[in-house]
C-alpha cells in the first residue's frame, strides 16, 4: 500500500457530452409514477462556481495480482468493492471486498459467484448487499450475467432480464446498489446498444431508463434518495452523463472539450463521480450541480485515472495506470 497527497484543479461545468461501455476486465423496481416520470428532462443551468478539493491518495492492490486491480465502490463504513485480473484470456477477474481501517492484505475477502470463471464486485451498500457480474468462461470475449448477494457473499443470486433480445454473447451487469436494495445496471441488445435499468431486489422487477435521442443508456449508480446517474450515447455518437432525480428531473452534463464524459457513481449529496476523456488522456472527476467539475488525477497516474465510486464522506475509489503499465486500485480521501 502506498499513499500520497494531491490537490486536483477545479473545472467549470458546461451542459452536454460524454462515456464508453463497461466490459469484462476494465471496467428496483419503482412505482408506476416513477416509471412515467423517467421521460422528463431538464438542461443544466449556467456555469456553476468551481471548487478546489485536496485529496490524500492511497494505492491498494491485492497481492494475488499486482498488475491489475480496480476499486469500484465504497460504502459509508469504508468497505471497498473491487477485483483483480484484467479479464483477458488466461487472466481472469476475481472479485473481492476490502475491510477498513488498515486495508492490509489480511483484510481482503475474496468473493466469486459459485462455479464462475470470473467475477467482479462492482458495488455495495451499508447493509451487507453487494452486486456485480460474472462470466462462466475466460476467453476474452465472455458472456456477463448480473448477480447480487444480501449477506456479504454467503449466498448469490443471478438476475434475468425478461422478454428482451440479448447481444451475442449476452451481457447483463449490475453496477451499483443503495440501502433500499435498489440496484442499477444494464443489458446489451442484439444491436450492441445498452439499456439501463433499476432493479428491485425485493420484488425482482425492472424499471428501464429512457433518454430522448439516446441510442444506448447505462445506469451506473444510485443513491439512497433514489437518484440515478449514468451515461448514454446520443444519436450523433457523443457520450454524455446524466443525473436523474427520483422526481424524474434529468440533468445532462459533460466536461468542456471532452470526447466522452462517463458518470459512474453518486452519493446522497448528489455528488457524481466518473471519468472524462480528452484526446488519449482519461481524467477522473467529481461533479455537483452547484460546483461543476473537479478533476481528480492520482499523482502516479495523471491522464490515466478513473473514479468509480463515492460515499457520503466524499471518499473516492477507482484506479489508474502506472508508469509500468499496471492498473492500480486507488483510494482518495478528502482532506480538511
For 160-184, the pLDDT digits (tens) are 999 999 999 999 999 999 999 999 9
Confidence check: pLDDT of 23 > 70: no
Phi, psi of 16 (to 5 degrees): 145, -70
Pinpoint the alpha helices (H) of the chain.
32-37
Pick from 240, 329, 225: nearest CA to 14: 240
Torsion of CA 113, 119, 120, 125, to 10 degrees: 0
Of all residues in the chain, what percent carry a pLDDT higher than 90? 84
Q: What pLDDT sits at residue 283?
A: 98
Name the fold adopted by 2-334: Neuraminidase (2.120.10)
**Domain layout of the chain by residue ranges:** 2-334
- pLDDT-derived band at 35, boundaries 50, 70, 90: very low
pLDDT, greater one: 53 or 280 = 280
Confidence check: pLDDT of 36 > 80: no
Pick from 123, 101, 121: nearest CA to 112: 121
Please tell me the least confidently modeled range out of 10-14, 101-105, 279-283, 318-322: 10-14
- pLDDT-derived band at 33, boundaries 50, 70, 90: very low
- pLDDT-derived band at 301, boundaries 50, 70, 90: very high
How far apart (Å, rounded) are the C-alpha atoms in residues 132 and 144? 10
Q: 96-113 burial, b if ≥16 CB within 10 A, otherwise e?
A: bbbeeeebeeebbeebbb
Instruction: Please state the length of the chain.
Output: 336
Confidence check: pLDDT of 5 > 70: no
Contact 307, 264 (CB under 8 A): yes
Report the pLDDT averaged over residues 114-140: 98
How far apart (Å, rounded) are the C-alpha atoms in residues 269 and 224? 10
Q: What pLDDT sits at residue 38?
A: 32
pLDDT in tens, 225-256: 999 999 999 999 999 999 999 999 999 999 99
How far apart (Å, rounded) are the C-alpha atoms in residues 251 and 260? 16
Q: What pLDDT sits at residue 53?
A: 82
pLDDT in tens, 194-211: 999 999 999 999 999 999
pLDDT in tens, 43-90: 444 456 656 789 999 999 999 999 999 999 999 999 999 999 999 999
Q: What pLDDT sits at residue 47?
A: 55
Counts for the chain of helices (H) and strands (E), in that order = 1, 26
Please tell me the least confidently modeled range out of 1-5, 85-89, 216-220, 255-259: 1-5
Q: What pLDDT sits at residue 1?
A: 56
Confidence check: pLDDT of 185 > 80: yes
- pLDDT-derived band at 101, boundaries 50, 70, 90: very high
**What mean pLDDT is reported for the chain?**
88
How far apart (Å, rounded) are the C-alpha atoms in residues 256 and 181? 35
Amino acid at each position: 500500500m502506498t499513499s500520497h497527497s494531491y490537490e486536483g484543479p477545479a473545472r467549470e461545468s458546461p451542459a452536454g457530452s460524454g462515456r464508453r461501455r463497461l466490459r469484462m476486465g476494465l471496467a428496483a423496481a419503482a412505482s408506476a409514477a416513477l416509471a412515467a416520470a423517467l421521460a422528463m428532462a431538464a438542461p443544466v443551468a449556467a456555469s456553476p462556481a468551481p471548487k478546489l478539493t485536496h485529496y490524500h491518495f492511497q494505492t491498494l492492490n491485492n497481492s494475488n495480482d499486482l498488475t491489475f486491480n480496480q476499486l469500484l465502490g465504497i460504502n459509508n463504513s469504508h468497505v471497498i468493492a473491487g477485483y483483480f485480473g484484467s479479464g483477458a484470456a488466461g487472466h481472469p477477474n476475481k472479485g473481492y471486498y476490502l475491510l477498513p481501517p488498515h486495508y492490509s492484505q489480511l483484510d481482503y475477502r475474496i468473493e466469486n459467484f459459485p462455479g464462475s470463471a470470473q467475477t467482479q464486485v462492482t458495488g455495495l451498500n451499508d447493509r451487507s448487499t453487494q452486486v456485480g457480474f460474472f462470466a462462466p468462461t475466460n476467453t476474452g470475449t465472455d458472456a456477463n450475467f448480473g448477480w447480487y448477494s444480501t449477506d456479504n457473499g454467503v449466498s448469490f443470486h443471478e438476475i434475468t432480464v425478461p422478454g428482451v433480445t440479448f447481444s451475442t454473447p449476452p451481457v447483463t451487469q449490475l453496477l451499483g446498489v443503495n440501502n433500499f436494495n435498489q440496484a442499477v445496471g444494464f443489458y446489451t441488445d442484439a444491436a450492441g446498444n445498452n439499456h439501463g435499468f433499476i432493479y428491485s431486489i425485493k420484488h425482482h422487477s425492472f424499471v428501464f431508463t429512457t433518454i430522448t435521442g439516446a441510442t444506448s443508456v447505462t445506469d451506473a449508480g444510485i443513491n439512497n434518495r433514489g437518484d440515478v446517474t449514468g451515461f448514454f450515447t446520443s444519436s450523433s455518437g457523443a457520450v454524455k452523463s446524466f443525473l436523474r432525480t427520483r422526481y424524474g428531473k434529468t440533468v445532462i452534463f459533460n466536461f468542456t472539450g471532452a470526447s466522452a464524459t462517463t458518470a459512474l457513481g453518486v452519493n446522497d449529496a448528489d455528488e457524481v463521480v466518473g471519468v472524462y476523456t480528452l484526446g488519449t488522456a482519461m481524467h477522473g472527476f467529481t461533479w455537483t450541480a452547484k460546483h461543476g467539475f473537479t478533476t481528480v488525477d492520482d499523482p502516479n497516474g495523471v491522464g490515466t485515472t478513473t473514479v468509480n465510486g463515492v460515499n457520503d464522506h466524499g471518499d473516492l475509489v477507482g484506479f489508474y495506470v502506472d508508469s509500468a503499465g499496471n492498473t492500480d486500485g486507488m483510494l482518495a480521501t478528502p482532506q480538511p
